[in-house]
Amino acid sequence: MNTPIDPYLADQFGTLNVPEDSQEKYTMARTLLGYSLVNELDYWLEAAKDKMENPLPTAPYIRDNAFSRKDRYFRDAFANMDPASKKVAMQLLQTTITGILFGVLTNFDQFDFGELSISLLPKSSQSSPIEITSPTEELHDELSYWIHSFSKFREELVIREEGSLGTSYRLL
């Protein structure tokens, strides 16, 4: 599946093809940030979904430790829940995690203690940082688009709407 980051990737190790145009560099840096955030979102939602749906881990734990006991605790609790309760629990988790991401990005955009600057120093032959933050374009405004573009859970997390002004995305 092609994603909006594919044109920027030089290899599978994160080396980038950095565009020459400064606006394209800016777009690339923000897109890569969104991709990274959504990959983390998907990782944790996938882990939660696995614990909710499967009474046993895919591979057994080699030894009993705090991690394996915590995993068993969650799997046992969800094994006793009815499907409707599991669905509501997953919806709450999805809303909470996307809300946290939205809130953190909003905090970056509207930092109480000054102007927060986030930049990318790319893995490439280019050595200068690329600004991600902007005084006119807020990161939190792009979260829904990033989730729609990159997430395995896009259908559960974001609604895409077509209107007279074009396509918009919003969190569910």
Q: Work out how many domains the chain is built from and give that number.
A: 1
Q: Residue 98 and residue 143: Cα distance in Å, rounded?
A: 9
Mean pLDDT along residues 131-136: 93
Asked, for residue 1, whether it belongs to a domain, the answer is: no
Asked, for residue 167, whether it belongs to a domain, the answer is: yes
pLDDT, tens only, 39-56? 999 999 999 999 999 999
Domain that holds residue 34: 6-171
Asked, for residue 89, whether it belongs to a domain, the answer is: yes
Q: Is the pLDDT of residue 126 over 80?
A: no
Q: How far is CA 93 from CA 64, 79, 145, in A?
A: 27, 17, 20
- Output the pTM of the full model: 0.89
DSSP-assigned beta bridge partners for residue 119? 131
Q: Is the pLDDT of residue 35 over 70?
A: yes
Placement of tokens 């074009």 in the chain = 166
Asked, for residue 34, whether it belongs to a domain, the answer is: yes
Angle between helix 83-109 and 22-53 (nearest 10): 150
pLDDT, tens only, 83-115? 999 999 999 999 999 999 999 999 999 999 999
Q: Is the pLDDT of residue 28 over 90?
A: yes
pLDDT grade for 1, boundaries at 50, 70 and 90: low
pLDDT, tens only, 53-74? 999 999 999 999 999 999 999 9
pLDDT, tens only, 149-170? 999 999 999 999 999 999 999 9
- What is the CA angle 39-41-45, rounded to 5? 115
